[in-house]
Amino acid sequence: MGCADVQELGWPSDAMNTGDTSTGRRAILIVANGYPSLERPWKCPFNHRAVKAIEPFWNPSVITMRSWLPWRRAQLFSYDGIRVREVLVPHLLAMPRVLFDCRRRDRFSFRRLALLASIGCMANQIRKSLGSIELIHSIAAGRHAFAAQKVADEIGVPHIVQLIGSEVTMLDDAFARSDSFKKWIGGVHFFIANSKSLQIAFEKKTGLSLPITTIYRGVDTTVFTPRSPKFQPTNNRAYHVLYLGGHIHRAFNRQGADTKGADLLLRAWKLIELESSIKARLVIGGPMIDERGVKLFLQNLKYPERVTCLGALAAEDVPHVIRQADVLAIPSRMEGLPNVCLEAMACGVPVVATAVGGLSEVVLSETNGVLVPPDDVDALAAALINLFHNPSLIFQLGVKARKRVVEHFDSRDYGLKLIKVYNAAVAEQRKPIRS
């Protein structure tokens, strides 16, 4: 079912969720930093998986943020049976950095004004979508989570915030220790972190010791499976290296922060090309891939025909694309715990990744994958070249990668763990965390 008007869907124009009296499921509002649709199925599919994981137990509806553009209209639609309302918000990061100086307390701050205005707008849209709910769950600690907190305080329901990675790693240190941020923290009932390293990073940023529960999102090991029959790589075939980090355009834009490390991989690939005995192929894909930037990169390669650009992928295409790879590269500079890491390992594809964020919680170097120092192009290239020269090692790492994910990161446990937090929050009856 695609996007439609409220009347066409048969929903009231204001409330989206009033609970499910037929099954006794409580109503919950998910406020997400992004969500897939039929037009953009590649947008934050992991958020949708989280909502589907709780759907058997709670009755969810979703509000998702999308950047405002003059010609764009907010939509109310259904995606895979989940009710979703878009809220258009200004993309503040596009404004000059000088406007974001939150440390100038004695001066008028455009940042503070813009933040308050966007938070107020989001809070108003959340109010329109409430219905009769018992809990609000914000995915990511962004502006939308501030707006959700305002509404949760007004209607007297618990508010849970899920720390996902980018919102924490890129959080301004001064703002994280400000009084306004501490006040917001004091109203949140529970924090959930997608990895232990993310939990530690958030506490370090805020300078507070907080009750944070680490819940790994996990991966559906019945969907992400090894190719069948599983084969062992040989020296006579061209190896396929896969990169699904997106944001390739940032490798060619000095003003952008390429946190996914696309530029590092592209530089490492030039070193790999110098190995005449290696006939490897690079497949790149993910959201916001700039094909023009990729073409500029290809012009400087010896074998440009060995690089393929897939662009954004639909969620249902990801397992097949991963299965065709021999190795997945994750050259990130900052991370929480990328879902693609677990997805590749579940498919029996070993990961070569930088030792940042939660990656080291999943990838055990030289056991089920390879970890390299961040920002080290030579180490990244050397790790990939070593695997190309040792095809049996690729197979061995892949088998152990699959085993680790099945044993410790199966998504079937994710929904149940979230429900325990939800039930605890409701039982607390508005006893917020104190900073």
pLDDT per residue over 68-92, tens digit each?
888 989 899 999 999 999 988 876 5
Cβ 148 vs Cβ 141: under 8 Å: no
Report residue 192's pLDDT band, with 50, 70 and 90 as the boundaries. very high
pLDDT (tens digit per residue) in 202-225:
999 999 988 899 999 999 999 999
Alpha carbon 382 to its chain centroid, in Å, reads: 28
Query: What count of Cα atoms within 13 Å lies in the side-chain half-sphere of residue 413?
Result: 12
pTM reported for the whole predicted model: 0.82
Cβ 15 vs Cβ 133: under 8 Å: no
pLDDT at 3 over 60: no
pLDDT of residue 258: 74
The amino acid sitting at 429 is Q
More confident site: 319 or 300: 319
Alpha carbon dihedral 143, 145, 147, 149, in 10-degree steps, equals: -150
Cβ 36 vs Cβ 42: under 8 Å: yes
Cβ 141 vs Cβ 165: under 8 Å: no
More confident site: 37 or 230: 37
pLDDT of residue 180: 85
* Residue-averaged pLDDT of the chain: 83
Alpha carbon 360 to its chain centroid, in Å, reads: 17
Distances, alpha carbon 75 to alpha carbons 9, 36, 86, 144, 201, in Å: 12, 12, 5, 17, 35
Cα(260)–Cα(24) distance, rounded to whole angstroms? 42
pLDDT at 98 over 50: no
Pick from 141, 310, 283, 315: nearest CA to 219: 315
Cβ 228 vs Cβ 371: under 8 Å: no
Report residue 16's pLDDT band, with 50, 70 and 90 as the boundaries. low
Alpha carbon 272 to its chain centroid, in Å, reads: 29
pLDDT at 171 over 50: yes
Pick from 72, 82, 75, 101: nearest CA to 29: 82
Cα(22)–Cα(173) distance, rounded to whole angstroms? 47
Determine how many CB atoms are found less than 10 A away from the CB of residue 330. Answer: 28
pLDDT (tens digit per residue) in 383-421:
999 999 999 999 999 999 999 999 999 988 899 999 999
